[in-house]
C-alpha cells in the first residue's frame, strides 16, 4: 500500500490551515491502465466490460468485448488468460475469473442471437485473407467492420484452423466455435473451404483484391531424429488430434508414450486416455518448473491418470522398446545427458515437439523474406517485403496462442485499412500501469471467487464431453463485482464522503466528480480513501486548472 509518510509533505504544516495559497499539493482525478487490460493479447478493454456485467448490462458488455475480440465463447474456454495472472486481486485473495465471465457473455450472445455490427460504410476495397484460423478470422472480422469486402480462402474442410483441429472438444466444444464463426460470416465475410492458395499473386490478381493477409498458422508437427526400426508406431501429435476431430479412432494400443512438455503434449496424452489407453506416459527432458505447458493443463492431465516422467529424453526406438536417457539441469535450466539409461515399453509413441509453418508457397513472391525456421519476416506494420501482402498469426515470429493470434489479426486489419487509405498507424500513448501497491484497499476480503464446476476425472476419460462448466448469470455477475476497478474511478463515493471541506462535487451517475479547489486544502484524505488509485496528489504548480 502507498504510505503518505513516505512522500514529501502534501501540506505546509508550518502555516495555518486554509484554502488557496497554503496548499502545496492538490488532488486530481486520473485514469490509469489496469493490469488485466495491459496483459490481454487481444487488447480487450476487460475492466470496461466487467463494469457493465456488474450492472447487469450484458449486451452492452458483450458489444464492448467484441470491439476487440469476435470470439468470446471460444476464448472464455481456450485462452490461457494472462489477464488473470496479472490481476491485482490475486495479491488480495484470488484473481477475478475473467475468462469465465467472458465465456458467459459469449454463450449468452449465442443464446440471444446478438449480431455483430459494421462500423463504417462500404469502402469498395476487397481484401483476401488466406487461412481461416484465429488470426485470419479476426482480421476478416475487423476488416469487415471497417467497411471492406473480405474473402477468406481456407485449405481445409472446416474453418477454425487449430481451434478446430488442434484443441480437443473437451476443452472447446465445436458447436461453440462454429456459432461464433457463423456470426462473422453473417457480418458479410465470405469463407471458401477446400481452397488451397498456391500462387498468392495470381489469386490476388484474379480476385481483384486490393490487399492480402496471410495467416496459415503452424499446423505441421516438428520431428526429431530418433533412430527407429518401426516408424509406423511413431505418430505426430497434431495429426493425432486432427484425426480424432475427423471422427477417427486411431489404434494406439494400451501403452502410449508422448514425447514433449507443451500444451499439445498434454492434449495428446489426455486424448490417448479417451481413446482407451490404459497408460499414457509423457516423457519430457526438463522438470515441471521448466515445462512450456500451462500448470493447470498438467494438473488436469495428472487428475485423469496421465503420468509424467521428468528429466528424460528418448534415444532410440526398437520394436516395442524405447531407450531413454536420464537428464540433469544446469544452473540455467538447460538439460544435459547423464549417461544413465532405461528401457520403456510402448505400443505407440506420439511426438509433441511443437509446430512449424508451411510457407514454401510464398518463396516465389518477390520481396518476401524468411527466418531460419521458415517463419515470414514482417515489418512493424505487419506487411511483408512485398507491397500489399501482410502476414500474421503463428507464421510470423513471436509467441503462439489463439489469443495472441486474434490480437495479431486485429492489428493487421488496422494496418491494412490505413495502408489502403495511404496512411500509417501511430500507436497512441498508454496510461501509466497501476500496480497492487498503489491501491488503498480494506485489510480484509470477503469475496472469494466462484469456482467453475468440473466433471469428475473418472467421467472425463470416457468421452470428449466438455470438462469445465460455465457460470450462470448470478455467478457471472458476482464474479464481475470482484473487480477492483484498478486505476479508474467507479464512483464509490469514498472521496465525496471523506472530504472535510466539502470540496468534492458529484456530477451525477457516470460523470464522476470534480474538485472545488477554492475549498480544497490538499489534506489528501480523498487520496487515502480512494481504493482504486483514481486520485493522485500533484504539486500545486502541476495541477492548475
Are 231 and 327 members of one domain? yes
- Which of 429, 456, 479 is where one domain is finished? 479
Are 14 and 54 members of one domain? no
The answer to the question of residue 394 being in a domain is: yes
Note every long-range contact of 223-230, with CB atoms under 8 Å and residues 24 or more positions apart, other chains counting. Answer: 223/351, 223/353, 224/259, 224/351, 224/353, 226/314, 226/315, 226/316, 226/317, 227/315, 227/316, 227/317, 228/316, 228/317, 228/318, 229/317, 229/318, 229/319, 230/317, 230/318, 230/319
High-pLDDT (> 90) share of the chain, %: 68
What domain range is 303 assigned to?
221-355
Are 412 and 373 members of one domain? yes
Are 299 and 336 members of one domain? yes
Res 11: pLDDT:
40
The CATH number linked to 201 is: 3.50.50.60
Computed over every residue of the chain, the mean pLDDT equals 89
The answer to the question of residue 185 being in a domain is: yes
Are 238 and 340 members of one domain? yes
Confidence of residue 484 (pLDDT cuts 50, 70, 90): very high
The answer to the question of residue 432 being in a domain is: no
The CATH number linked to 24 is: 3.30.70.20
Cell 486489419: give the residue.
413
pLDDT at 439 over 60: yes
Q: Quote the number of domains for the chain.
A: 4
- The DSSP 8-state label assigned to residue 232 in this structure reads G
Are 39 and 159 members of one domain? no
Whether the CB-CB separation of 531 and 439 falls below 8 Å is answered with yes
The answer to the question of residue 16 being in a domain is: yes
pLDDT at 27 over 70: yes
- Which of 355, 381, 408 is where one domain is finished? 355
Cα(127)–Cα(243) distance, integer angstroms:
32
Q: Looking at residues 528-540, what average pLDDT do you find? A: 94
The answer to the question of residue 73 being in a domain is: yes
Are 473 and 496 members of one domain? no
The answer to the question of residue 191 being in a domain is: yes
- Which of 320, 335, 355 is where one domain is finished? 355
Q: pLDDT, tens digit, for every residue of 102-124?
A: 999 999 999 999 999 998 999 99
1 vs 440 pLDDT, higher one: 440
Confidence of residue 101 (pLDDT cuts 50, 70, 90): very high
Are 76 and 136 members of one domain? no
Res 16: pLDDT:
37
Are 228 and 336 members of one domain? yes
pLDDT at 7 over 70: no
pLDDT at 464 over 90: no
Res 543: pLDDT:
58
Q: pLDDT, tens digit, for every residue of 317-354?
A: 887 888 999 999 998 889 999 999 999 999 999 999 87
Cα(538)–Cα(235) distance, integer angstroms:
63
Are 416 and 514 members of one domain? no
pLDDT at 4 over 50: no
Q: Looking at residues 134-158, what average pLDDT do you find? A: 96
Note every long-range contact of 178-182, with CB atoms under 8 Å and residues 24 or more positions apart, other chains counting. Answer: 179/73, 179/110, 180/70, 180/71, 180/72, 180/73, 180/74, 180/106, 180/110, 181/71, 181/132, 181/137
Confidence of residue 18 (pLDDT cuts 50, 70, 90): very low
Confidence of residue 15 (pLDDT cuts 50, 70, 90): very low
The CATH number linked to 102 is: 1.10.1060.10
Are 255 and 326 members of one domain? yes
Res 2: pLDDT:
36
Q: What are phi and psi of 454, to 5 degrees?
A: -130, 155
Q: Looking at residues 163-169, what average pLDDT do you find? A: 87
Cα(248)–Cα(251) distance, integer angstroms:
9
The answer to the question of residue 321 being in a domain is: yes
pLDDT at 1 over 60: no
Confidence of residue 21 (pLDDT cuts 50, 70, 90): low
DSSP 443-478: S-------PPPB--HHHHTTS---SB----HHHHHH
Are 475 and 411 members of one domain? no
Residue 377: closest CA among 111, 296, 363:
363
Q: pLDDT, tens digit, for every residue of 175-224?
A: 999 999 999 999 999 999 999 999 999 999 999 999 999 999 876 767 77
Note every long-range contact of 416-419, with CB atoms under 8 Å and residues 24 or more positions apart, other chains counting. Answer: 416/127, 416/139, 416/143, 416/211, 416/213, 416/390, 417/143, 417/146, 417/148, 419/211, 419/381, 419/383, 419/388
Q: pLDDT, tens digit, for every residue of 216-267?
A: 987 676 777 677 656 558 888 888 888 887 667 888 999 999 999 999 999 9
The answer to the question of residue 226 being in a domain is: yes
Q: What are phi and psi of 259, to 5 degrees?
A: -105, 110
3-state class (DSSP) for residue 273: helix
Cα(288)–Cα(308) distance, integer angstroms:
9
* Grid cell of 510 as nine digits: 457516470
Q: pLDDT, tens digit, for every residue of 276-302?
A: 999 999 999 999 989 988 888 899 999
DSSP 339-357: EEEEEEE-SEEEE---EE-
Cα(39)–Cα(86) distance, integer angstroms:
7
Cα(178)–Cα(194) distance, integer angstroms:
17
Q: pLDDT, tens digit, for every residue of 394-424?
A: 888 778 889 999 999 999 999 999 999 998 8
4 CB-near residues (< 8 Å, 6+ apart): 10, 524, 527, 528
pLDDT at 14 over 50: no
Cα(73)–Cα(107) distance, integer angstroms:
6
Amino acid at each position: 500500500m502507498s504510505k503518505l509518510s513516505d512522500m514529501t509533505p502534501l501540506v505546509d504544516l508550518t502555516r495555518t490551515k486554509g484554502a488557496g495559497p497554503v496548499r502545496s499539493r492538490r488532488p486530481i482525478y486520473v485514469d490509469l491502465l489496469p493490469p488485466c487490460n495491459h496483459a490481454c493479447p487481444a487488447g480487450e478493454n476487460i475492466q470496461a466490460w466487467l463494469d457493465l456485467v456488474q450492472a447487469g448490462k450484458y449486451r452492452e458488455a458483450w458489444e464492448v468485448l467484441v470491439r476487440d475480440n469476435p470470439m468470446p465463447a471460444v476464448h472464455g474456454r481456450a485462452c490461457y488468460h494472462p489477464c488473470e495472472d496479472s490481476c491485482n486481486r490475486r495479491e488480495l485473495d484470488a484473481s477475478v475469473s475473467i475468462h469465465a465471465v467472458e465465456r458467459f457473455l459469449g454463450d449468452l450472445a449465442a443464446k440471444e442471437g446478438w449480431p455483430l455490427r459494421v462500423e463504417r460504410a462500404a469502402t469498395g476495397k476487397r481484401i483476401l485473407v488466406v487461412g481461416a484460423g484465429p488470426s485470419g478470422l479476426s482480421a476478416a472480422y475487423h476488416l469487415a467492420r471497417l467497411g471492406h469486402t473480405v474473402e477468406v480462402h481456407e485449405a481445409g474442410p472446416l474453418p477454425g484452423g487449430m481451434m478446430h483441429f488442434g484443441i480437443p472438444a473437451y476443452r472447446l466444444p465445436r458447436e461453440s466455435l462454429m456459432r461464433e464463426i457463423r456470426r462473422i460470416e453473417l457480418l458479410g465475410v465470405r469463407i471458401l473451404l477446400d481452397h488451397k492458395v498456391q500462387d498468392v499473386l495470381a489469386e490476388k490478381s484474379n480476385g481483384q483484391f486490393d490487399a492480402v493477409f496471410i495467416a496459415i498458422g503452424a499446423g505441421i508437427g516438428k520431428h526429431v531424429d530418433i533412430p527407429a526400426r518401426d516408424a509406423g508406431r511413431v505418430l505426430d501429435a497434431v495429426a493425432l488430434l486432427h484425426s480424432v476431430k475427423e471422427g477417427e479412432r486411431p489404434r494406439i494400443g494400451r501403452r502410449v508414450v508422448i514425447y514433449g512438455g507443451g500444451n499439445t503434449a498434454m492434449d495428446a496424452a489426455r486424448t490417448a486416455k479417451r481413446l482407451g489407453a490404459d497408460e499414457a506416459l509423457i516423457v519430457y527432458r526438463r522438470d515441471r518448473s521448466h515445462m512450456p505447458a500451462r500448470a493447470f493443463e498438467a494438473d488436469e492431465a495428472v487428475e485423469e491418470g496421465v503420468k509424467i516422467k521428468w528429466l528424460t529424453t528418448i534415444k532410440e526406438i526398437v520394436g516395442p522398446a524405447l531407450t531413454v536417457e536420464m537428464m540433469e539441469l544446469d544452473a540455467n535450466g538447460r538439460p544435459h545427458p547423464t549417461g544413465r539409461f532405461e528401457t520403456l515399453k510402448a505400443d505407440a509413441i506420439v511426438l509433441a515437439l511443437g509446430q512449424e509453418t508451411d510457407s514454401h508457397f510464398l518463396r516465389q513472391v518477390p520481396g518476401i523474406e524468411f527466418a531460419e525456421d521458415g517463419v515470414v519476416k514482417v515489418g512493424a506494420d505487419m506487411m511483408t517485403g512485398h507491397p500489399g501482402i501482410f502476414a500474421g498469426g503463428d507464421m510470423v515470429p513471436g509467441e503462439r496462442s489463439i489469443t495472441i493470434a486474434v490480437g495479431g489479426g486485429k492489428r493487421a486489419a488496422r494496418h491494412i485499412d490505413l495502408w489502403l487509405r495511404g496512411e500509417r498507424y501511430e500507436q497512441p500513448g498508454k496510461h501509466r500501469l497501476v500496480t497492487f501497491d498503489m491501491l488503498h484497499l480494506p485489510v480484509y476480503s470477503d469475496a472469494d471467487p466462484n469456482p467453475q464446476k468440473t466433471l469428475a476425472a473418472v467421467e472425463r476419460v470416457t468421452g470428449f464431453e466438455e470438462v469445465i462448466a460455465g457460470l450462470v448469470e448470478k455467478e457471472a455477475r458476482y464474479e464481475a463485482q470482484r473487480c477492483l476497478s484498478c486505476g479508474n474511478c467507479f464512483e464509490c463515493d469514498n472521496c465525496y464522503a471523506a472530504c472535510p471541506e466539502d470540496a468534492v462535487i458529484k456530477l451525477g451517475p457516470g460523470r464522476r466528480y470534480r474538485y472545488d479547489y477554492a475549498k480544497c486544502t490538499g489534506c489528501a484524505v480523498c487520496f487515502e480513501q480512494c481504493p482504486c488509485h483514481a486520485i493522485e496528489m500533484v504539486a500545486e504548480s502541476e495541477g492548475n486548472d
